[in-house]
């Protein structure tokens, strides 16, 4: 059994509904969601000329391997209508694996821990809410410590 920490997000349509729908699909196809953070709203990161995002962190217990989990998450994105047309562009749903146990994985399909996690307040804040003492296997710091050191200046607000 693996413990995975996911970040769900989206900025198109009914953002809260899409996060709820994604959570249902993840529970159905990937494993048991044992904890979920509050929903946070953040201005778009990277390509900024788009609506604000809603994000939520999930703790998932899964029997799937990391690659199987990533493939299932990509299938869920497709099922929900995500079309990848513009990198960092608007999207109905985005499902990312932030961490899985204390694994370090670098494949064509998957990078765990998520390489941008220490630099993104919109991922660290919801993750710190549900797993503040979780250790980042590369940085050797807790999620709370990473959040305290994060230089990302985007405003992240709990909804």
Tell me which of 94, 120, 121, 152 is the catalytic residue.
94
91 is catalytic: yes
Quote the DSSP letter at residue 100.
Answer: E
67 is catalytic: no
152 is catalytic: no
Tell me which of 15, 49, 67, 82 is the catalytic residue.
82
Tell me which of 15, 67, 71, 96 is the catalytic residue.
96
Distance between CA atoms of 47 and 62, rounded to whole angstroms? 33
First to last CA, the chain: 32
Q: Give 46-52 contacts, CB < 8 A, sequence gap 24+.
A: 46/87, 46/88, 47/86, 47/87, 47/88, 47/89, 50/11, 50/89, 50/90, 51/11, 51/12, 51/90, 52/11
Tell me which of 91, 120, 121, 152 is the catalytic residue.
91
82 is catalytic: yes
Residue 48 phi/psi, 5-degree rounding, is -90, -10
Positions marked catalytic = 82, 91, 94, 96
């Amino acid at each position: 059994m693996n413990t995975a920490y996911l970040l769900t997000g989206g900025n198109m349509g009914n953002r809260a509904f899409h996060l709820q729908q994604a959570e249902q699909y993840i529970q159905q196809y990937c494993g048991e969601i044992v904890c979920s953070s509050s929903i946070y709203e953040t201005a778009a990161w990277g390509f900024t000329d788009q609506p604000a995002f809603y994000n939520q962190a999930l703790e998932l217990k899964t029997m799937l391997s990391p690659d199987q989990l990533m493939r299932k998450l990509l299938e869920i994105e497709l099922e929900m209508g995500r079309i990848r047309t513009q990198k960092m562009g608007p999207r109905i749903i985005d499902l990312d694996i932030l961490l899985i146990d204390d694994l370090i994985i670098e494949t064509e399909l998957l990078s765990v821990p998520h390489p941008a996690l220490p630099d993104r307040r919109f991922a660290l804040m919801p993750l710190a809410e549900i797993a503040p003492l979780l250790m980042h296997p590369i940085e050797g710091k807790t999620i709370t410590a990473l959040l305290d050191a994060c230089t990302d200046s985007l405003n992240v607000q709990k909804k």
